Chain A
Amino acid sequence: MRIKFEARTEFSKGVLLSVPLITIFVSVTVSSFLLLALGKSPMMTMYSFFIAPFETFYSVTEIFLKFGPLLIISQALAIGFRAKVWNIGAEGQMVMGAIAATAIPVYFPDSTSFLLLPAMIILGAVGGMVWSGIAAFLKTQFNANEILVTLMLSSIAYQFLYYLLLGPWKDPMGFNFPQTVMFQDEALFTSLFTGVRFNTSIVLPILFSLGVWIIMEKSFIGFKLVAGGTAPKAAGYAGFSAKTAVWQSLLLAGFAAGIAGMSEVAGPIGQLQRSVTSGYGYTAIIVAFLGGLHPVGIVFASFFVAVIQIGGDIALVSADIPISAVRVFQGLILVFYLATYTFVHYRIQIDWKQQLSSAKASL
């Protein structure tokens, strides 16, 4: 028996759209069985995941609070992934962005200037870009694998964060908790509604998405990146620099992740602390693929993942399921997405007649 994967050359837009729908359907079905095995009610759980997040105004704003950072990071990562630059260290770039932005309220705790927030945005972006720039430099100069470098740089970023929180930046009035001072109001984004954490920082991911859409759909830079990712030799033949593509992809990701990190400390958290990223840097990788690496798809994917994250939190309490069941469900979605994607893009042929002897002989 031999299994062959034959690439399909043509498929309709409808088939491509069916990928996320099939994914959700299969994941819900399979996890329902798992929940039954746990003795929990699948209906109750799915209700918590998909309906409950929309039941109160507060949880809807919480969805959008998670939507922002996921959107901005995954948009940038998707550009890199299309150029085959595998930056999986957005987490570390986000941490560095948060750290760099925090420098301002830490060193100017009494300032009330309206320039605080813009300066923090710029510093956050620069912090992320410096971190991803290291990976770009090592990749272009020494051909160091960016997957390893970005991943390891994330660990370093965390260690640096812990050092700052336990040492020089620790809030002297903070009862020895590993966290900085609370930021002054001028260094925080304003809430959009009273009593909720959802704030004006949402403008940044939306503007960024718009920019990404223009770059990828309308500009020559986007074309060059995709060409380099799809056929490196053809890009070389056309004279598109592979090094430029690495720099552009990584710097853009650092920029976006840095702003996301800044938006967290200057938004819902209000200070720099250990759990600054909420895992957005890694989740954004899933979001980018779930959105088909397309700027519009990623908007929907970010929203969907934000919903199931809030839904997961609700399910923990109201459906009384363990946290690991939430993780399993979120993991199943990615696995089934990849499977569905493969079936849509490849025709799978199983050749039962193929004998082992001929396989040997053809060697």
Chain B
Amino acid sequence: MKKDNLVPLLSLRKLTKRYPALVANDRIDLDVIPASIHAILGENGAGKSTLMKLTYGVIEPDEGELFWEGKKIKQNNTFSSRKRGIGMLFQHFSLFETLSVVENISLTIPGNRKILSERIKKVGAAYNMIINPEALVFSLSVGERQRIEIIRCLMQDLKLLILDEPTSVLPPQHVRSLFHALRKLRDSGVAILYISHKLEEVIELCDTATILQDGKVTGTVNPHERTVQELATLMIGRNIPQTKPRTEKRLTDTPILKISNLDAKSDNPFSVNLSRIDLKVHGGEIVGIAGVSGNGQKELSRVLSGEDLSHNLHPKIIEMMGKPVADLGVSDRRRLGFSFVPEERLGRGAIAPMTLSENALLTAYGKDMLDHGFIRNNKIEAFTKKCISDFDVRCRGTNVIASSLSGGNLQKFIVGRELSLLPKLLFLAQPTWGVDIGSATAIRQRLLDLRDQGVAILVISEELEELFEISDRLYVIHNGQISPSLMTAEIKPDDIGEYMIGIRNVSNNFIKGNNANQV
């Protein structure tokens, strides 16, 4: 490396953290030098987040040492880390939604409100992160909330900023302004630890990349000199599997799912009101719904699945397989050939302390598993075994409990269960969220195969790359409203991004003028 003469800001030596079932970090060595952006690259489950929590002092290592500016750290906790000048942005924001920006910041930074407000404006201006200190957090976009967190870190004497997958929730436009701010920060002398599994980002932004695989460091490279394929090989130990391209296209004449002018208002001030949603999915196509999280995806999925019947909709507002279903419950919709994979795996898609067989029975009971209300164990067993082998679920048999499976394997099991029901209409929410690359590709390939067999598939996802990879058409959801249908082949991610942050009005194609305060 070029700056070898510098004393590293932070050094980790043989850092090890063990959990009952696995070694999350295995003798990790790492040096972070000042004024650099250092990527920690690895798949889901490689141990990135654990490593950062060890660094920040959220958890304690079992073995190994940490050095700060050359001196050994004796006691590491979040309080002492912050005193040292380390700031951390977690994947999920730690903000109080009902408080204003300045109130949130005053919880950790001393000083009266007026002075803090001035400082927030000053810091914001210096790094192009303008924000109104008096704004209430729940009214702000995800990008703006992230800014609050960064500004909060900057308002202490910041030397090292740790970011955990900061772009996973952002639309493309916000990613660009975040990168801009991060580069400015680096140039002012701050070191940045950037956790990601997105290779393009790392190549674009980072000066050094340390790659983790199964809790071990497999290499430290200069990402500017590497290609995406090379980094991928280092990260997962093989090439990224690709999904097969589409061969032919056949759509059903009538839509399998049709939502007409759906309005769903809620009494809960923190949930999003759905308004005037129009949407169609034909057999033989995958339709994606893009959007920044918290724009009505959860509400839409509960209305669509039949779990939320509180809105007393006219039956014809939702039609499945040509039948009005808006007044029908979950099991009636399922009986028509509807299948659903929810975004929460444990507790909704599967019951944590129950076995895989019992979890198969949860939704597959219609598959000949009952005899006059009595459970036919042999049928369940056969179904579960087939599901496990067809979808390559790694587990020790049908009698292990759901929570003992890794996130990726459990998701494969849930997707497998829902696909084994041979649905005519399949609805998935965040199908590959937190799933390792291998499993994610396998799941996506299954969806493509199913589409070719004529199944109608609707996917809600916050990962734009995923939607571009698998969907034929896209809608964008923003603030409970949905955009016109967009052909994936004809539209660019940036255009989707404009819908996602509301620059482009979702209800028509008119582009509002300089709505730059949103960016």
Contact = CB atoms under 8 A, between A and B. Distances in A.
Interface in A347-363: 353, 355, 357-358, 360-363
A9 B400 CA distance: 10
Nearest to B81: A361
Contacts of A361: 77-79, 82
Interface in A305-363: 353, 355, 357-358, 360-363
A229 to B, nearest CB: 10
Contact of B329 (A230, A231, A239): A239
Q: Classify the interface of chain A: helix, strand, loop or mixed.
A: helix
A10 interface: yes
A223 interface: yes
B362 A238 contact: yes
Which residue, A219, A220, A223, A353, has most C-beta atoms of chain B within 10 A?
Answer: A220
B136 interface: no
A236 B403 CA distance: 19
A362 B59 CA distance: 11
Interface size class of B (residues with CB under 8 A): 35 or more
B344 interface: yes
B375 interface: yes
Given A236-B307, A239-B334, A227 B362 contact: yes
B77 A219 contact: no
B404 A230 contact: no
Contacts of B80: 358
A231 B348 contact: yes
B411 interface: no
Interface stretch (B25-33, B351-359, B482-490): B351-359
Contact of A227 (B75, B349, B354): B354
B351 A358 contact: no
A237 B305 contact: yes
A129 to B, nearest CB: 21
B269 interface: no
Given A237-B307, A237-B348, A362 B78 contact: yes
Contacts of B79: 355, 357-358, 360-362
A9 B307 contact: no
Given A237-B330, A358-B79, A218 B374 contact: yes
A239 B330 contact: yes
B435 to A, nearest CB: 19
27 contacts: A9-B401, A9-B404, A10-B401, A218-B375, A220-B361, A220-B374, A221-B373, A223-B361, A230-B352, A230-B353, A231-B348, A233-B344, A233-B348, A236-B330, A237-B307, A237-B348, A238-B330, A238-B331, A238-B362, A239-B331, A239-B334, A355-B75, A358-B77, A360-B79, A361-B78, A361-B79, A363-B107
- What 6 A-B pairs have minimum CB-CB distances, sorted nearest first? A239-B330, A361-B79, A239-B331, A358-B77, A231-B351, A233-B348
